[in-house]
Amino acid sequence: MTKPTVFVPHTIPDKALHRLHATCEVIYRDLRSEPTQTELADGLRGAKGMVCYGKISVRESLLEAAPQLEVVSNIAVGFDNFDLAAMQAHWVSGTNTPGVLTETTADLAFALLMAAARRIPEADAYVKSGQWQKWVPDLMVGSDVYGKTIGIVGMGRIGEAVARRALGFGMTIVYHNRRRQPNAELALGAVYRASLEELLGESDFVVLLTPLTKHTFHLIGEDELCRMKRNAWIINVARGAVLDESALMKALDGGWIAGAGLDVYEEEPLPANHPLLSRPNVVMLPHIGSATVATRENMALTAVDNIIAYFSGRRPPNLVNPDVWERRFGQSAERMKE
Ligand code: 8YV
């Protein structure tokens, strides 16, 4: 049987590449840079599948240039890089990597929260630049974390993992989500807030963990930032566009909030001279929520397993648009092959 051709447009961990090679013909662009549109179209010529990071936009123009493409396997839990309507129209399945990055991303979210509250990057720079000449009582004083209220916006897997960490810090946990999450309420004592406004008004730390969709685009804008406490922090580890960055600038300028911890931005990488870069009360990371060696390898392996399942006639475990798979293969095909 001929092996299906799969395009991988950037370097992935060796273990994942080897696993892919066993069942697929692989076109491998072993580079860490983002591919250009031309490189993508060239690589996809003849490919039925693609395994890629969530930075690759899977939109109409790409799908038109790759008519034989059947499946795109994201090495990411977020899939806002997928135009689901265009994928549906072209019968292209999409998969993601939920679960394997939950704890790693929650670690980072909490690290960012603590770094912002306790001014860790600022203090580190202060010491290393030789400015620490004497100790004074108000040197680098920050905000307490222990015993404060954390407001989690988007209580999915990562939200729950952040809540577990917050419990260890004796925090009160409130959350806002499309649906109530009984597990978070029973196991973690998280209190549901149907109203986002209510959560914003009571939280000392607002942590954004919601996927980016048309409903969550600029979920946090001027009105929302205005409702936050003046000594509260906003932490974004979701997607940049969930938080309106110009509204955030206004909030920082006006002293509406204490500051922010950001791992994601409306434009990535952040353009030079971006106004947020000069703010001491904003801790900024380069989108590294899932960036540990082990987790990145597990994400790539999960993505490869999704595509191997697809081409061996099994339903991929992490389909994000199952309708397309069902339309192509039918429910009966699924039952026969399982
Ligand atoms: C990815 C992420 O590394 O999984 C996600 O949704 O944000 C990150 O873990 C990034 O999207 C690149 O694929």
Q: Are residues 50 and 127 in the same domain?
A: no
Cα(290) to centroid(ligand 1), Å = 7
Average pLDDT score over the chain: 96
Q: Do 62 and 209 fall into the same domain? A: no
Tokens of 294: 């082990």
Q: What tokens does 258 get?
A: 């204490």
Q: Are residues 315 and 274 in the same domain?
A: no
pLDDT higher than 80, residue 291: yes
Same domain for 82 and 92, yes or no, is yes
Boundary residue ending a domain (284, 306, 327) = 284
Expressed as residue numbers, the domain containing 181 is 102-284
> Any catalytic annotation for residue 21?
no
**pLDDT-derived band at 256, boundaries 50, 70, 90:** very high
Asked whether residue 305 falls in the same domain as residue 222, the answer is no
Task: Give me the long-range contacts of 270-279 (CB less than 8 A, separation at least 24).
Answer: 275/249, 276/245, 276/248, 276/249, 279/252
Residue 337 has pLDDT above 80, yes or no: no
Please indicate, yes or no, whether residues 157 and 260 belong to a single structural domain of this protein: yes
- For range 212-227, the mean pLDDT: 98
Last residue of a domain, one of 265, 284, 303: 284
Q: Is the pLDDT of residue 331 over 70?
A: no
Distance CA 302, CA 74 (A): 9
| Higher-confidence position of 331 and 300 | 300
Q: Which of 30-34, 103-107, 190-194 has the lowest mean pLDDT?
A: 30-34
Cα gap 126→323, rounded to integer Å: 54
Q: What is the pLDDT of residue 333?
A: 53
> Do 307 and 186 share a structural domain?
no
114/249 same-domain check? yes
- Catalytic residue of the set 10, 119, 176, 287: 287
Say yes or no: 230 and 313 in one domain: no
- Band of the pLDDT at 37, cuts 50, 70, 90? confident
The answer to which of 91-95, 107-111, 133-137 has the lowest mean pLDDT is 133-137
Q: Are residues 206 and 130 in the same domain?
A: yes
Is the same domain home to 64 and 33?
A: yes
Per-residue pLDDT, 336? 45
Res 104: pLDDT: 98
Overall domain count for the chain: 2
Per-residue pLDDT at 72:
98
Strand partners, 72: 50, 94
C-beta separation of 229 from 205 below 8 A: no
Residues with CB under 6 A from ligand 1: 53-55, 75-78, 101, 289-290
Report the alpha-carbon distance of residue 78 to residue 239 in Å, rounded: 9
* 51, 20 contact by CB (below 8 A): yes
Pocket test for ligand 1, best of 12, 74, 77, 239 (most atoms within 8 A of CB): 77
When pLDDT is cut at 50, 70 and 90, the band that residue 204 belongs to is very high
CA distance 153 to 199: 9
335: confidence class by pLDDT, cuts 50, 70, 90: very low
pLDDT at 94 over 80: yes
- Nearest atom, ligand 1, residue 239 CA: 7
**CA-to-CA separations, 63 to 7, 18, 56, 91, in angstroms, rounded:** 14, 27, 12, 10
- pLDDT value at position 17? 98
88 exposure class (CB count in 10 Å sphere: 0-12, 13-18, 19+): middle
Q: How many CB atoms sit inside 10 A of residue 269's CB?
A: 10
Instruction: Please indicate, yes or no, whether residues 86 and 134 belong to a single structural domain of this protein.
Output: no
pLDDT, average across residues 220-245: 98
pTM: 0.95
User: Does pLDDT of 334 surpass 80?
Assistant: no
For position 278, which CATH number holds?
3.40.50.720
pLDDT at 330: 81
* Band of pLDDT at residue 222, cut at 50, 70 and 90: very high
